Amino acid sequence: MWHVLLSFSGLVALIQLLLLPFFPESPPYLLLQKEDKAGCLKAMKQLWGEENCHTEFDDLMKEKAVTKGTKIMNVLEVLRERSVYPQLCILLLLLLSLQLCGLKIFQTANLQESIIPYVSLGVSVSELISTIFCSSIIDRFGRRMLLYGGYLLMALILMLLETSLLLSDQFLWLRYCSVILIFLFIIAYGIGP
């Protein structure tokens, strides 16, 4: 029943992708990154109503004033910052625990038992790559664009993965395509959702 579970996550992603255009952009992103006060107020009114938005807007303006002189750090600067080492250790532990995921899909793809741990390690590396890549492009494109692109890529990859797993008994080379598609799915998920 793994394919039903895999399809369910694709269905949830599709529903979110269809509903995403009806939601406004994040007010903090609009004000702090894009410096769009009118867009921020409009998004706040849409999210919280007319009464509640002014207090939140004032709080965001205070936050903007406090962070005005603060530099946004890139990935290498974050890695050099000692104060974030505990969080980075937790993140690395989570990424390493991803080695256990995907075993059933890899077995369904009829991969040799001896290479499955290496493929699982590749899953962790894919997650790490997507995290680093996303953190470096999120300020440039914004969350909405990354969500759109991520969900569209995930939907395409899931269709290709399902097809490759169904045909892997007939075409042996599709087993390895399935592994590559899983890596790409994880990268698309890490960049978008």
Q: Indicate whether 100 belongs to any domain.
A: no
Average pLDDT over residues 11-26: 86
Cα–Cα–Cα angle for 66, 49, 59, nearest 5°? Answer: 10
SS (H, E, C) the chain: CHHHHHHHHHHHHHHHHHHHHHCCCCHHHHHHHCCCHHHHHHHHHHHHCCCCHHHHHHHHHHHHHHCCCCCCCCHHHHHHCHHHHHHHHHHHHHHHHHHHCCHHHHHHCCCCCCCHHHHHHHHHHHHHHHHHHHHHHHHHHHHHHHHHHHHHHHHHHHHHHHHHHHCCCCCCHHHHHHHHHHHHHHHHHHHCC
- Domain boundary at 11, 43, 68, which? 68
Q: Indicate whether 15 belongs to any domain.
A: yes
pLDDT for res 84: 85
- Domain boundary at 41, 68, 95, which? 68
**Count of domains for the chain:** 2
Q: Indicate whether 97 belongs to any domain.
A: no
Q: Indicate whether 174 belongs to any domain.
A: yes
Q: Indicate whether 73 belongs to any domain.
A: no
Please give the mean pLDDT across all residues of the chain.
Answer: 79
Q: Indicate whether 87 belongs to any domain.
A: no
pLDDT for res 96: 62
Which tens digits make up the pLDDT trace of 81-128?
888 888 888 777 656 654 544 555 666 666 677 777 777 777 778 877
pLDDT for res 111: 67
Cβ–Cβ < 8 Å for 161, 140? no
The fraction of the chain above a pLDDT of 70, given in percent, is 87
pLDDT for res 139: 72
Please state, in angstroms and rounded to a whole number, the distance separating the CA atoms of residues 100 and 97.
6
**Tokens 């962070």 correspond to what residue?**
67
Least confident window among 9-13, 69-73, 124-128? 69-73
Please state, in angstroms and rounded to a whole number, the distance separating the CA atoms of residues 158 and 164.
10
Query: Cα Rg for the chain, rounded, in angstroms?
Result: 21
Domain of residue 168, residue span: 109-191
pLDDT for res 94: 59
Average pLDDT over residues 169-191: 83
pLDDT for res 170: 86
Does pTM top 0.75 for this prediction? Answer: no
Half-sphere exposure of residue 16: CA atoms within 13 angstroms, side-chain side = 17
Q: Are residues 60 and 121 in the same domain?
A: no
Q: Indicate whether 46 belongs to any domain.
A: yes
Average pLDDT over residues 158-165: 86
Q: Indicate whether 44 belongs to any domain.
A: yes
Amino acid at 14: L
Of 22 and 193, the structure prediction assigns the larger pLDDT to 22
Which tens digits make up the pLDDT trace of 27-60?
888 888 788 889 988 888 888 777 777 788 888 8
